[in-house]
Amino acid sequence: HTQGPVGAQLTAKADAVVDLIGGDALEDAPNQVRDTARGAAVVDAETVLGMGGHYVFVRPERDHHDARRA
């Protein structure tokens, strides 16, 4: 991440991109993936949907977490 945009570092575009942080990283996603419809994000719905990608809503469930520990 300290070397600049990921898209500028790739030698070829990826099949899919999953963005977990948003911001500049998500804005660079079209430069990283062959087809922007194969992009997904958990942070910025408006930006990823505007690119033709997918927004994934994630909500932690404490009960599920505790049940796995039992």
Tell me the per-residue pLDDT of 27-66, one tens digit each, with 9 for 90 and over: 999 999 999 999 999 989 999 999 999 999 887 777 665 5
Mean pLDDT calculated for residue range 9-19? 94
Cβ atoms within 10 Å of 31's Cβ, excluding its own: 15
Q: What's the confidence (pLDDT) of residue 34?
A: 95
How far is 31 from 24, CA to CA, in rounded Å? 12
Q: What's the confidence (pLDDT) of residue 22?
A: 87
pTM > 0.75: no
Q: What's the confidence (pLDDT) of residue 61?
A: 72
Q: What's the confidence (pLDDT) of residue 15?
A: 96
CA dihedral 27, 39, 61, 65 (to 10 degrees): -110
